[in-house]
Homo-oligomer: A and B are copies of this chain.
Amino acid sequence: MVIIYPKFFSLEQEKQERIINAALKEFAQNGYERASTNEIIKEAEISKGSLFSYFNSKKELYLFLLDYVVKVIDKIYDEVDWKETDIFKRIKAIGLAKFKIYKRSPQAFNFLKAVAREDAVEVKSEVNKLEKNITESGLERGYQNIDLTKFREDIDIQKTINIINWTILSFAEQQRDKVNSMEDIGMEIFKEWDEYFDIMKRCFYKKEEE
C-alpha cells in the first residue's frame, strides 16, 4: 500500500515541483483517463523515460498525487484555530484556511476537485478510499472540541451537525459551479455564506445564545 518513490525524491526540489504541478494540472483539467503523459512531460520539461522511471505507470503517478494532496489538506488543518469552540466559527476558520492554501497551491485544489468527480475504474477504489479517509478524519478533527451545549436540546446533535455540514458542502459546490476560477471569488460569497449560518444558528441553537 505504501509505495515510496526514491528516484523521484532524490531529484532537486525545483524539478520535483515542476513535475508535480504539471501532473496536477493535466489530471485536473482532463481527468485520469484523458490526461496525457505526453502533455505532462512537455509541461514539466522532462523526458518520457524519466517520468516512467520515477513512477512506474500513469496509475502510480496518479496515486502519488493523491497522497500528495492529502498532505496539502493536512496543512489546512494545521492552520485552523482548534481552540474556537463555536461550530460555525470553526467551520468558517476551516473555510478561510482552505482559501489561503488554495491561493498558495491552486493546482492541488483543482486536482482534488477533479478527483471528486473521477470515475475511471482503474483508480476508482483508491479514490474512494481517499475520500472516505478525508471525510472521516475531516469530521473527526473538524468537530473536535466543539461546544455542543449551544445546541437545542430537543434535537439529535450528531444529525444536526450533519445537516450543517452538508449545507456548507453543498453551498460550496454550488458556488464552485458558478465561478470559473477561484480568482473570481469575492466577499459577497462569504456574505451569503453567513446568511446560511444565521438561519442555522437561529434554528439549531438554544434561544438566547451568544
Binding site for B on A (CB under 8 A): 29-31, 33-34, 114, 117, 119-121, 152, 154-156, 159-160, 162-163, 166-167, 169-171, 195-196, 199-200, 202-204
C-alpha spacing A169/B173, complex, angstroms: 13
A29 touches B121 (CB 8 A): yes
In contact, A199 and B34 (Cβ under 8 angstroms): no
Partner of A33, one of B34, B154, B171, B202: B34
A120-B167 CB under 8 A given contacts A159-B199, A199-B160: no
Residue of B at shortest CB range from A124?
A: B29
Q: Point out the residue from B33, B120, B163, B202 that lies within 8 Å of A199, measured CB to CB.
A: B163
- How many Å lie between the Cα of A163 and that of B202 in the bound state? 14
| Complex Cα gap A54–B170 (Å) | 39
Task: Give the chain B neighbours of A117 by CB distance below 8 A.
Answer: 117, 119
